[in-house]
Amino acid sequence: MAWVLREAERYFGGQAVSKRFAERLGLHRKQQMACVCDNHCMPIGGVTAAPSPRPQPTEDIAVPARHKADTVWARPTGQLVRDGFGADDPIQGGLGDCYLVSGLSALANVRPDVLRDAIRQNPDGTFTVRFYKDSFLGLFGKSKKPVYVTVDGTLPTKDGSKPRYARGRDVQELWPAIVEKAYAKLDGGYDKVAKGGSPATLWQALTGRSGSMQLTAFKSGSRLFDDMKNALAEKRPVAASTNPVATKKYQDSGLSGKHVYAVLAVYERGGEKYVRMRNPWGYGEPGSDGRDDGVFELTIDAFKKKFPLSYYGG
């Protein structure tokens, strides 16, 4: 896909990445990185809401065409933040933006203060989120001037009751949905956000610092482990994605293809190196620890085999 090749070329000092090499990785130019759950992933639970008259929000933020008929904009009850910003707070809904929700989880994991400082609740019931107009993918231009995006408290719901897109694990915690809405307004709509992206672009927008995407195939397991360990120690967010094309290889693995996961920690135990990760759905993981909360661990060798792309914040 074009954006993967551009980022690979950037990582390798501007050298062109051959079509043959891209095909070996399963990263074709005609493919687009949209989350595999775009068509069928829906959140669990609902919200207590006072539905607004169907279905117009105060902002013109487009939803995907398939959602227009049954989307009601409602104002959920709850608080912007409850018990701080945590990596387990954001839950992905029925929008194909695993990169965004995992990006929020990874950022909350290492820099909750960034989110705290970026989001403001206003006296009139609106919310303002500060972004930076700079992105290595060219989304926000080249300056680092902050841009303040204000949205009201209405959110897309399913018939006025179920949250349609991102939410908090505690449905009374609103910050994941508010950031997603502000990002959608900045990017041109929920329908644009659903077409796919990179968590590094989100981190760039929230921190003003450039991130990167790297291909794990070029690194040994030890080097990959050390890179993630150093990034996390420096409080830089880390995420990784499964193959965006060869999704069948993930059948019966507990993982989903074309899906971005947050990296929460790396550590050693019994002479083996491990990576702890989180599924933005808030459930579904390899193995069975009895929790089914989306959090799991893989050996570094298994990680390298299953996750061809890794992302690092600046």
Residue 144, pLDDT score: 75
Residues of the chain scoring pLDDT < 70: 1-59, 134-143
Q: How far apart are CA 308 and CA 85, in angstroms?
A: 29
Q: What is the structure's pLDDT at 39?
A: 40
d(CA 269, CA 20): 38
Beta bridge mates, 212: 312
Residue type, 116: R
183: number of Cβ within 10 Å: 26
Query: Is the sign of the CA dihedral 153, 156, 160, 163 positive or negative?
Result: negative
What's residue 229's pLDDT?
A: 98
Paired strand residues for 295: 278
What is the model's pLDDT at position 16? 35
Q: How much is the pLDDT for 142?
A: 53
Read off the DSSP letter of residue 146: E
Peptide bond into 55 cis (omega under 30): yes
- pLDDT on residue 235: 98
The pTM assigned to this predicted structure is: 0.82
Strand runs labelled E in the chain: 49-51, 71-76, 90-91, 119-121, 127-132, 146-151, 155-158, 162-163, 167-168, 212-215, 238-241, 260-269, 272-278, 295-299, 309-312
Task: Enumerate residues 6+ apart whose C-beta is below 8 A from 68.
Answer: 55
**Using CA atoms, how far apart are residues 197 and 33, in angstroms rounded to an integer?**
6
- Helix (H) or strand (E) holding 25, with range, is helix 19-25
- In the Cβ-directed half-sphere of 193, how many Cα atoms lie within 13 Å? 28
Closest residue by Cα to residue 73 from 178, 149, 150, 159 = 159
H/E element, 22:
helix 19-25
State the pLDDT at residue 240. 97
Q: What pLDDT sits at residue 250?
A: 87
pLDDT at 156: 95
Q: What does the block give as tokens for 40?
A: 């069928």
Instruction: Name the residue type at position 298.
Output: L
First to last CA, the chain: 24
306 sits in the region (left: phi over 0; alpha: psi -120 to 50; else beta) called alpha
Report CA torsion sign: 219, 223, 226, 231.
negative
Q: 299: which strand partners? A: 274
Q: What is the pLDDT of residues 214-223, one digit of tens each?
A: 999 889 999 9
Amino acid present at 282:
G
What's the pLDDT at 212?
94
- Domains of the chain from N-terminus onward: 1-31 (no CATH), 41-206 (no CATH), 209-312 (3.90.70.10)
Task: Read off φ and ψ for residue 22, nearest 5 degrees.
Answer: -60, -40
